[in-house]
Amino acid sequence: MNRIAKNLGLYLILIVLVVSLVNAFLTPSQNSQESTSLSYSDFIKSAQSGQIEKVTIEENLVKATSKDGKHFKTYVLDPGPLAQDLVKLGVAVEFVPPQKAPWWAGMMTSLFPTLLLIGAWIFILYNMQGGGSKVMNFAKSKAKLFLDNRPKVTFKDVAGCDEAKEELQEVIEYLRDPERFARLGANVPKGVLLLGPPGTGKTLLARASAGEADVPFFSISGSDFVEMFVGVGAARVRDLFEQARKMQPCIVFIDELDAVGRQRGAGLGGGHDEREQTLNQMLVEMDGFDATTGIILIAATNRPDILDPALLRPGRFDRHIVVDKPDWKGRQAILEVHSKGKKLEEDVRLDIIARRTTGFVGADLANLVNEAALLAARRGRKALAMTDFEEAIDRVIAGPERRSRLINAKEKEIIAYHESGHALIARLIPGCDPVHKISIIPRGHMALGYTLQLPEEDRFLISRKELIDRICVLLGGRVAEEITQGDVTTGAQNDLERATQLARQMVTEFGMSEKLGPMTLGRKQHEVFLGRDIVDDRNYSDEVAFAIDQEMRSIIDGCHSRVKTLLSENLDLLHKVTRNLLDREILEGEELETLIAGGDLPPLSENGSKASKPATGGREEAAEGTEPLPGGRGNPEPEPAA
């Protein structure tokens, strides 16, 4: 019976077609033998000549049989006079009454278009919902229920977010032993919201919660609620919580909550918007939780700023857990998790790799380990070496090498001077982050080279002096071109953009201008419907705007003069570093230190490459705030935060 119900639309169409064909051929032929058609005049001549023996008349059709057994037919408008004449000629005449189709056949024929439309509509719904069983159940929740097939991931498989695990562990303990909390009169949070940048492990934490808790687990995405039919989203929310109440205690996980939880009143259609109706129903269901209920709602989003305030208040999402980017210890723990089951060489130091991957989230580190494994397999290794991880870091930060890109000697020299300028300024200014690597090998989409710095410790605050030093390092490449080439190129476009942005932030956001004082100038307008800041509102006068431009100009000009003086005083060193960079294409931080100290680098091997040596910690105590400085264009970098 279920099989027939699943294909109801197809069966209806098939039945209608069969009935129509039966009705079309319902009247069988009275004579299965073939008849020859004659004109009326020839038919009369045959009758008058006595050749016709028998005639059968059916409405306007006249069928005749000759004395020699032949059959022929003709058509007449009025068969009455013809029949009288044939009788007079001695021909046997027989009238056949017309046969009528059954009443049900006529009704089916008249209803054929309507039934065809109904069948086509059911067939469309069948395909849209992925199966005939969902034709009338599209308002049902699409949440996946995990009982005995819960994810095998546990908190042991999640690293780099210990605080978030502790917060969730409390929820898991409540589900395991609610009486322990009830004795003390404690109420567990009804909703837990996981916040954080993409790739930090929010969904992984939810999967680990399902693996830890021995309770049913419902999983659904925010976009699964909203459908093309009005009211379906709200119906699915009701159905989800109805199923959850039957299975309590349980966990309901909603991924990408911002798809359905955006602030109300911002979209088209006002209160009648389908997404807002879905959100309203979710608010009602969450607020309707009983004090003794065993339903825990966990949601994840990377855009908490656009969520509706009613969704975030206590009583709905009581607990907000921030899953932020891991520090170097967290990165080391994540690397240990992802390197399990992989063969590593003895020279591999995960702690050093963790220090060199500042800003990487869990997804980036998983990709890093996988890239290292792919590189090792490409090189025919039996285990992952430190050089594989080093190359994988460069691939993730700046993209894969593009040695096939042909660059003429002149442009290659300009790129080398550009990157040497960045590196020397970073080395000559006290307090700058140490230089880890300089490269003039094209990488990624547009980067023609880059300079990589690694900080010595984790940093959360940036002083005015450090921001000035960063601007100086950014301008080092362009000033090196000015001094050595007597001209500038477009290669510094990204450097100038970032330097200008830093100067504007210092003046308008960080209050680091002596002339304008400790003030925040400008206000961002939040367009919730678009989900991002698209307008900077000027809440200051034209006079202040002119002063902002002047202060930015003063900062940039001061840094430019300082850099030009430093490079002019160390011009011979700039030429020396550039020559070695042109020969080797890549200079490590230790090699740069050797050149600055007045030493020479060992000659290259016969194949033009240098022998790789195991990486050491050196000055790279931590790698928070890694900043690749592209010699080409288009190597994006996260904005520095104060």
Alpha-carbon span 535 to 526, nearest angstrom:
8
Helix (H, G, I), strand (E, B) or coil at 2: helix
Average pLDDT over residues 106-122: 69
**67 vs 311: which has the higher pLDDT:** 311
Instruction: Please state which of the ranges 54-63, 83-92, 197-206, 264-273 shows the lowest mean pLDDT.
Output: 264-273
Predicted pLDDT at 33: 52
For the ranges 103-107, 335-339, 512-516, the lowest mean pLDDT is seen at 103-107
pLDDT at 242 over 70: yes
- Of the ranges 136-150, 189-203, 545-559, 589-603, the best mean pLDDT one: 545-559
- pLDDT at residue 230, as a whole number: 66
CATH number at 328-396: 1.10.8.60
Distance, CA of 256 to CA of 260 (rounded, Å): 8
Q: What tokens were used for 619?
A: 């000055």
Closest by CA to 123, choosing from 13, 4, 1, 3, is 13
Q: Are 528 and 264 in contact (CB under 8 A)?
A: no
Q: Check if CATH label 3.30.2090.10 holds for domain 144-322.
A: no
pLDDT in tens, 443-472: 766 678 888 887 767 677 899 999 999 999
Count CA atoms within 13 Å of residue 268 on its CB side. Answer: 1
Structure tokens at 232: 């379906």
Of 72-86, 153-167, 571-585, the poorest mean pLDDT is in: 72-86
In the chain, what percentage of residues exceed pLDDT 70? 75
Average pLDDT, the chain: 78
For 17-63, the pLDDT digits (tens) are 666 666 555 544 444 456 677 777 877 877 777 778 788 887 778 78
Which phi and psi angles does 300 have, rounded to 5°?
Answer: -130, 140
Question: What is the rounded distance in angstroms from the CA atom of residue 67 to the CA atom of residue 74?
Answer: 17
Give the range among 19-33, 290-304, 357-371 with minimum mean pLDDT.
19-33
Give the pairing type, strands 450-453 and 627-630.
antiparallel
pTM value?
0.67
pLDDT at 272 over 90: no
How far is 471 from 468, CA to CA, in rounded Å?
5
For 422-446, the pLDDT digits (tens) are 999 999 999 898 898 898 888 766 6
CB 641 within 8 A of CB 461: no
Angstrom distance (rounded) from CA 37 to CA 39: 7
Can you give the pLDDT at residue 229?
A: 62
Task: State how far Cα 464 lies from the chain centre.
Answer: 38
DSSP for 4-33, please give it.
HHHTHHHHHHHHHHHHHHHHHT-S--S--S
Between 15-24, 90-99, 148-157, 548-557, the lowest mean confidence (pLDDT) is in 15-24
Record: fold of 409-630: Methane Monooxygenase Hydroxylase; Chain G, domain 1 (1.20.58)
Q: What is the mean pLDDT of residues 287-316?
A: 80
- The secondary structure of 195-244 as a DSSP string is E-STTSSHHHHHHHHHHHS-S-EEEEEGGGT--SSTTHHHHHHHHHHHHH
pLDDT band with cut points at 50, 70 and 90 for residue 560: very high
**Exposure b/e, 312-328, CB count within 10 A at least 16 = b:** eeeebbbbebebebbeb
Residues marked as catalytic? 419
Mean pLDDT value across residues 230-241? 81
DSSP secondary structure code for residue 288 in this structure: T
If phi > 0 it is left, if psi is from -120 to 50 it is alpha, else beta; for residue 553 that is alpha
Q: Is the dihedral of CA 42, 45, 51, 57 positive or negative?
A: positive
More confidently predicted of 489 and 116:
489
3-state secondary structure at position 175: helix
Mean per-residue pLDDT, 538-545: 85
Q: What is the pLDDT of residue 368?
A: 92
Total length of the chain: 642
More confident site: 265 or 598: 598
| 429-436 long-range contacts, CB within 8 A, separation 24+ | 429/469, 429/472, 429/473, 429/566, 431/465, 431/466, 431/469, 432/469, 432/473, 433/625, 433/627, 434/589, 434/619, 434/620, 435/589, 435/592, 436/356, 436/588, 436/589, 436/620
Position 348 pLDDT exceeds 80:
yes
Residue type, 187: N
Q: Would you place residue 506 in the very low, low, confident or very high pLDDT band (cuts 50, 70, 90)?
A: very high
- The pLDDT value recorded for residue 68 is 76
On the CB side of 388, CA atoms within 13 Å amount to 26
Whether the per-residue pLDDT at 411 is higher than 60: the answer is yes
pLDDT at 13 over 80: no
Give the pLDDT score at 8: 59
Q: Is the pLDDT of residue 535 over 60?
A: no
- What's the rounded mean pLDDT across residues 479-505? 92
Give the pair of three-digit tokens for residue 417: 């001077």
Average pLDDT over residues 188-196: 85
| Residue 393 pLDDT exceeds 70 | yes
575-592 mean pLDDT: 90
Q: Which fold has domain 27-95?
A: 3.30.720
Kindly list the domain boundaries of the chain, sorted by start residue.
2-23+102-134, 27-95, 144-322, 328-396, 409-630
Phi, psi of 103 (to 5 degrees): -60, -35
153-162, 194-203, 209-218, 608-617: lowest mean pLDDT where?
608-617
Instruction: Give the integer Cα–Cα distance in Å for 480 and 424.
Output: 10
Q: What is the CA radius of gyration of the chain?
A: 41
What's the mean pLDDT in 551-579? 94
Q: What's the average model confidence in pLDDT over 329-358?
A: 88
